[in-house]
Structure 1
Amino acid sequence: MTNQIARGGKSIYGAPLGILMLEARFPRIPGDMGNGTTWPFPVLFRVVRGASPERVVLNGARGLLPDFIAAAKDLVDLGAEGITTNCGFLSLYQAELAAAVGVPVATSSLMQVPWVQAMLPPGKRVGVVTVSAGSLTDAHLDAAGVPRDIPVAGTEHGREFFRVLIKAEKNDMDVALARQDILDAGADLIRRHPEVGAIVLECTNMPPYAAALAEATGLPVYDIYSMVTWMFAGLRPKSW
């Protein structure tokens, strides 16, 4: 029998991806980033206390950077080899988190926009569906490498998604109404910007509705699931 040496240095093994979670109580259905069954690989979760969706999305995450850095460092100490976050609006902290933790960091699904744009034919553009178009500033876009004039549609005027996830008006959610809010935002995006050839979903709670949106629009749809599974593929390349 060949001698084997097991290497130590971590607290937890087999879960190389760490997810920084906002503090919220809404339902996290399968497909949501905060549902453990969403991922085809083990992940480590860490809730950042005080980082409510309303504070992060509507108030620019002001004052929360030290808390996110501390939580990210904790995940790395536990064994995470890459860090991502539970809100696309945390692109604001991309540079600071990447500099602080010493492992790859992908704060926002919006970081996919340049990749997707590079795949599109001439004359076509990436469009973004976000939980709150009114809160998505040039600073968020700049931090993720997204053009400031990108077509955007939000869900803040819908009936369910925004008021449950961001305003925390209740702890339950009508999934059909939430899905319709996403479809309505996608339809609005295409109506105002017919040149859109692919959609990136900013919000990490939107992947459960990505397939429905792709079917309704006939366009490719990318989200935090597509980005994180790509990121994981680099952390754990398949052995052939």
Structure 2
Amino acid sequence: MLQTRFPRPPGDIGHPASFPVPTRRLVVAGATPGGVVRDAADLRASGLVARFVAGARQLEAQGAAAITTSCGFLVLFQRELQEAVGVPLVASSLSMLAPLLAAGRRAGVLTVSAQRLGPAYLEAAGVPVDRIAAIPVEGVAPDSVFATTLLGDFPDWDAGQAAADVVAAAVRLRRRAPELDTLVLECTNLPPYAPRIEQATGLQTVSLLQCETLLAPFGAS
């Protein structure tokens, strides 16, 4: 997990009740939201991958049956992280995008920062290069309560406004890409609002909380 202090309501990956299976959390010191949610080249150059590799190995040594992270941008390190451990590891819900497309789903992405979620992240997620440009990506407004609280790592927020910010972003994406039937939630802080997103857009939402690779070792799905 990133080192954070922002609110984590039920459904957020950092809330202990969000997964239907027992979880163990490990905070990677120095991995702040502002240090991870950045352009791919900057994240690569940050050297943070070594800290996340060490964290994944520590979790495996503690008996973790599957491992994930608390930020979708860490898909950039998917290969290095999976190679470092012997248990299933899914760094980001973005890794669910390619299988959805292969199954014929018309999927878009809702993210905390569309400005920073460039093509390199979707390529790292396994999306075929020739399909990346066609995938609609929408970010929560940069000046919104939701985005500024998360990226600035503030401890308090107007919860109602944060929810409205997220739903507004999903509605924007729905309007400009009416062909969609599925919405992948990049940010692990978005799932608390999945029911409201689905009600407002009619789209099915997908997040790490439904990732079969993570749940299969526990016999859950």
For normalisation by structure 1, the TM-score amounts to 0.84
- Secondary structure in 2 matching 1:36: coil
| Match of residue 60 from structure 1 | 43
| Counterpart pick for 1:231 among 209, 213, 217 | 213
The one-letter amino acid of 1:177's match is: Q
In the TM superposition, residue 119 of structure 1 has moved relative to its aligned partner by: 4.2
Question: d(CA) in 2 for partners of 1:194 and 1:134?
Answer: 22
| Match of residue 87 from structure 1 | 71
The one-letter amino acid of 2:140's match is: T
| Match of residue 109 from structure 2 | 128
| Match of residue 119 from structure 2 | 138
Question: d(CA) in 2 for partners of 1:76 and 1:26?
Answer: 27
Question: d(CA) in 2 for partners of 1:194 and 1:40?
Answer: 32
Structure scoring higher RCO (CA < 8 A, sep ≥ 6) equals 2
Report which of the two has the higher share of strand.
1
For normalisation by structure 2, the TM-score amounts to 0.90
| Match of residue 189 from structure 1 | 173
Question: d(CA) in 2 for partners of 1:201 and 1:178?
Answer: 15
In the TM superposition, residue 43 of structure 1 has moved relative to its aligned partner by: 0.7
CA contact (8 A) 2:67 2:214 kept: no
Q: Deviations over 1:100-119 (max 9, x none)?
A: 11221100001111232344
| Match of residue 107 from structure 1 | 91
The one-letter amino acid of 1:28's match is: R
Over aligned residues, Cα RMSD in angstroms? 1.5
CA contact (8 A) 1:210 1:223 kept: no
Asked if 1:174 corresponds to 2:129, the answer is no
- Secondary structure in 2 matching 1:221: strand
Q: Which runs of 5+ in 1 are unaligned?
A: 1-20
Question: d(CA) in 2 for partners of 1:224 and 1:195?
Answer: 23
Question: d(CA) in 2 for partners of 1:63 and 1:74?
Answer: 18
- Secondary structure in 2 matching 1:67: helix
In the TM superposition, residue 190 of structure 1 has moved relative to its aligned partner by: 1.5
- Secondary structure in 2 matching 1:26: coil
- Secondary structure in 1 matching 2:43: coil
In the TM superposition, residue 158 of structure 1 has moved relative to its aligned partner by: 4.5
In the TM superposition, residue 193 of structure 1 has moved relative to its aligned partner by: 1.5
Q: Which runs of 5+ in 2 are unaligned?
A: none
Query: What is the identity percentage for the equivalent residue pairs of Structure 1 and Structure 2?
Result: 43
Question: d(CA) in 2 for partners of 1:69 and 1:233?
Answer: 21
| Counterpart pick for 2:57 among 70, 73, 85 | 73
